[in-house]
A and B are shown apart, each in its own frame.
Chain A
Amino acid sequence: MSENAGATTFRVFPHSYRMLTVQGIYRRLTLAILVPLGFGIFRGGPDALVMVIAAVAGAILADFLATRFVTSVPFDSAGFRAVYFGLAVAALLSPQTSPLVAAFAAALSVIVGIWFFGGPGRYRVHPALVGPALLGMALPGMQALREGGTARAIPLPAEFIAWMEQVILEPLGVRVTADAWALLLGAVGPEGGSLVMGLIGPILLGSLILFGEDLLPPVLPFSFLLAYAVLVRLFGGNPLDAVFLTNAPFVMLFLLADPPVRPATHTGMALFGVFAGALGALFWITGEIALPAVTALFLAGTFVAVVDSLTTRRL
């Protein structure tokens, strides 16, 4: 009879995974981004709808062709990745942008922004910023990003607005400018504005999906917003205008919710948020850059690798 028992080895491996898969992330991002986009389309009218459809179609077609001919990764129709990028591109364009230009910008975003770098996870700058930026450089007269459009109002009773001002805002010492009110309520599309610019309510509504599904660590948008608003205030600007008259709320929520474009750790995200917010504030104050928040995010994105190397454990 053997004296020794046989050794027991215990395999360690998780038997349960968080619900989110890569596909799940892009499906939820798509769902979330559709909320402000829906309001943007309502405000922008049929032209806006056609432009959004064209952008999404361009992104899907580009993703299909890229996965078919450029990479060995299979085309993932269920993953909604291309749909999300198409919608993100459309959200940053003016409602009056020609559908062809929108489709081309979205296709460029997917091919250059994603697959040129090797696929999801390999890029640092958000692909939705790449296509329109390239197009803007190639066709400077296009003005897709700067031309504002006529818009329809989303009616809200004037009494309600007056009540808000009297009961909530005035006691707090907050004064919302008439322009900001008009934008906030979707009454007009801002001059030089994008499809979703100023739609704070719908943007916040859509962001509930992002936070509820744990897609975006709150530290990132909060540090961005804090740095952005505080610096604008310090330089003598109006933080409310700086928020309502730019794409800041949209980009800091819906673009930064795409996991590869942000740093890995919470500390890194806070640093990145402050950096991007400060850049955005600087651009807003100088007035030299037409799209302060978008440009700030574009430039800050190139520093993600540096932030990561400072805040994650290295060899």
Chain B
Amino acid sequence: MSLSYASGIRPLREQKKLERGFWNAAVPSTCIVPLQQHVGSKLAPLVQQGDVVREGMIIADGPGRFAVPLHAPIPGRVSTVGTTRLFDNTTSLAIMIELAGEFDRLGKEPERLDWSTRNPDELREMVRRGGVVATGRAPLPLHSYLRRGQGGVPPLLVLDLAETEPYLTADTELTSTYPDAVLEGLRIIARILSTTETRVLYSPGNRSALTALRRGMDRTVRIHRVPHRYPANLEQRIRRVVLPTRERDDPARRVITVRPSTAHAVYEAVVLGKPQIEQVIAVGGGAVARPAHIRIRLGTSVADVISECGGLLANPARLVAGGPLTGSEVFNVHAPLPKHVTAVLALTESEIGTAPEHPCIRCGACVRACPVGINPVLIHDLVAAGRAGEARRAGRSDCVECGLCSHVCPSRIPLVERIREVDGE
């Protein structure tokens, strides 16, 4: 598998600049909290219609190992517990809360917990109770992700600042604003993993976050720079950068990667006892009046997020939750964003660059762009010919669905979708 940083692309598309920093968005009068916030967990509501809930109170939990409790993002009364349509038009059980009563935390100085006396299992349970979901390409309950790193040889912990997908800049802003909290969260995670080896990965695009972090960073933390090419943070690529050659292919050598927003959420959950009920997101795209970063309460609808940034200048050609390459299209603006989504984009026609599909011109752009060295056009041809078995042998299982092959294709062939069809056969 070719994983050098020569593949992938420099983000070519101009992204409309977002305002630096972030502000707290207005607290919504109604919050919808879907019970499905990440892949794989099964939760049951712990409240019923009419119940009064406090800010940060657990409102849903489940017995499974992957279950993460959900908390009330705002104080108020439960108005509905029922099925709701999510932003991508799928459905989920959800709890709707109408704002009422007083905020327990807002504007108050929180008490700090001295976590240094706690053992790793206690800390991991605090992370679980805080409802922390690891942000990034594969949203996972953090406590179960960290379990992978416990026992055996201590893993290498990597703080991944190197987000290179356009518009996914919320973590950079969060780190620049709260570097100490991010670092403390990282130390807590290191303690859970019983590791002393911590690394920071950054790309030139997020140097400001690194500068802020450096002030409070231990000398033992090594810093690795990767080129500003998307995608920078595939697991295999990170291993190539942070591990010596002889250890890269050793499965016993584990690397645990966390994003700054995850480390920050751990800090809040453990030190401040505050569950993950807020998230910093980037709101961008040519159709947004004031592209900026904002901190929202979980359960805030996509429509409220956009109005917080001045509304829309024009009818967007596409609304996207997440980055322009790997995000999901928003079909229901009244639905909230899940915990791991860190951007909302209202893209104009010219930003998308769609065109009718043409026959392949064998330009090879998809082959050069593919970060894992697959030949996407070969898989496409095999799928079109109904030869799914051969398509699988051609590397379907290596595809990380980064979307790059489709992004660069001048013939506008939906290669990722076609490649995914292999699984459907």
Please report the C-alpha to C-alpha distance between residue A119 and residue B320 in the assembled complex, in whole angstroms.
36
Contact B325 A214 (CB under 8 A): no
Chain A residues with Cβ below 8 Å from B92 are 5-8
A201 to chain B, nearest CB (A): 29
Bound complex: CA of A262 vs CA of B412, how far in Å? 20
| Chain B contacts with A in 39-98, Cβ cutoff 8 A | 39, 41-45, 62, 81, 83, 86, 88, 90-93
* A15-B36 contact given A121-B363, A259-B362, A266-B6, CB 8 Å threshold: no
| Cα-based distance from A6 to B37 in the complex (angstroms) | 10
Contact (Cβ within 8 A) B345 A15? yes
B411 at the interface (CB under 8 A from A): yes
Is A260 an interface position by the 8 A CB rule?
yes
Asked if B326 lies at the interface with its beta carbon under 8 angstroms from chain A, I say yes
Q: Is B280 an interface residue (CB 8 A)?
A: no
Say yes or no for A163: interface residue by CB 8 A criterion.
no
State whether the Cβ of B151 lies closer than 8 Å to any Cβ in chain A.
no
CB <8 Å contact, A16 and B410: no
Residues of chain B within 8 A of A177, CB atoms compared? none
Would you call B378 an interface residue if the criterion is a C-beta within 8 Å of the partner chain's C-beta atoms?
yes
Tell me whether A13 and B361 are in contact in the complex, defined as CB-CB below 8 angstroms, given that A312-B367, A313-B395 are known contacts: no
Tell me which of B328, B329, B417 has the highest count of chain A C-beta atoms within 10 A of its own C-beta.
B328
A315 contacts B390, C-beta separation under 8 Å = yes
Residues on A with beta carbons closer than 8 Å to the beta carbon of B408: 17-18
| CB contact under 8 A between A259 and B365, given known A6-B91, A10-B88 | yes
Contact between A14 and B403 (Cβ–Cβ < 8 Å)?
Answer: yes
Q: Are B361 and A259 in contact (CB under 8 A)?
A: yes
Of the residues B34, B362, B363, contact of A5 by C-beta under 8 Å = B34
Asked if B324 contacts A265 (CB within 8 A), the reply is no
Q: Which of B114-122, B176-184, B346-354 forms part of the interface with chain A?
A: B346-354
Q: How far is the CB of A73 from chain B (nearest CB, A)?
A: 8
Alpha-carbon distance A313/B36, docked complex (angstroms):
39
Contacts of A14 in B (CB 8 A): 324-326, 403-404, 406-407, 416
Shortest A117–chain B CB gap in Å is 11
Q: Note all chain B residues with C-beta closer than 8 A to A4.
A: 42-44, 93
Instruction: Among B81, B83, B325, B364, point to the contact of A265 (Cβ < 8 A).
Output: B364
- Assembled-state Cα–Cα distance A3/B43 (Å): 6
Q: Which residue of B lies closest to A6 (CB)?
A: B92
Give chain B nearest CB distance to A55 CB in angstroms: 23
The segment out of A19-27, A58-66, A92-100, A127-135 that lies at the interface is A19-27
What range describes how many residues of A lie at the interface? 35 or more
Query: 0/1 per residue, A160-184, Cβ < 8 Å to B?
Result: 0000000000000000000000000
For the complex, what is the distance from the CA of A4 to the CA of B359, rounded to whole Å?
A: 44
Chain B: CB-nearest residue to A121: B361
Cα A19 to Cα B365 in complex, Å, equals 13
A158–B191 alpha-carbon span in the complex (Å): 76
Task: Please tell me if the beta carbons of B406 and A17 are within 8 angstroms of each other in the complex.
Answer: yes
B215-223, B298-306, B368-376 - the one binding chain A:
B368-376
Query: Are A15 and B394 in contact, with the CB atoms below 8 A?
Result: no
Known pairs A1-B45, A8-B88; A15 contacts B373 (CB<8 A): no
Chain B CB within 8 A of A12 CB: yes
Given the complex, which residues of B lie within 8 Å of A8, measured CB to CB? 34, 36, 39, 86, 88, 90, 92, 338
Neighbouring A residues of B358 by C-beta, 8 Å: 21-22
CA distance A16 to B14 in the complex (A): 11
* Known A10-B88, A14-B407, A18-B410; further 6 A-B contacts with Cβ < 8 A: A6-B90, A8-B86, A8-B92, A15-B325, A17-B353, A25-B410
Q: Closest 7 interchain pairs by CB?
A: A264-B364, A259-B363, A5-B35, A121-B361, A16-B324, A14-B403, A17-B353
Offer 24 A-B interface pairs, CB within 8 angstroms, sorted by A: A4-B42, A6-B92, A6-B93, A8-B34, A8-B92, A13-B406, A14-B325, A15-B320, A15-B324, A16-B13, A16-B351, A16-B352, A18-B13, A18-B410, A19-B12, A22-B358, A217-B368, A264-B362, A264-B364, A264-B375, A265-B367, A313-B373, A315-B378, A315-B394
Which A positions have Cβ atoms within 8 angstroms of B? 1-25, 73, 119-122, 214, 217, 259-260, 262-266, 308, 312-315
Give chain B's interface residues, CB within 8 Å of chain A.
6, 9, 12-13, 34-36, 39, 41-45, 62, 81, 83, 86, 88, 90-93, 166, 318, 320, 324-329, 338, 345, 347, 351-355, 358-365, 367-368, 373-375, 378, 390, 393-395, 401, 403-404, 406-412, 414, 416-417, 420
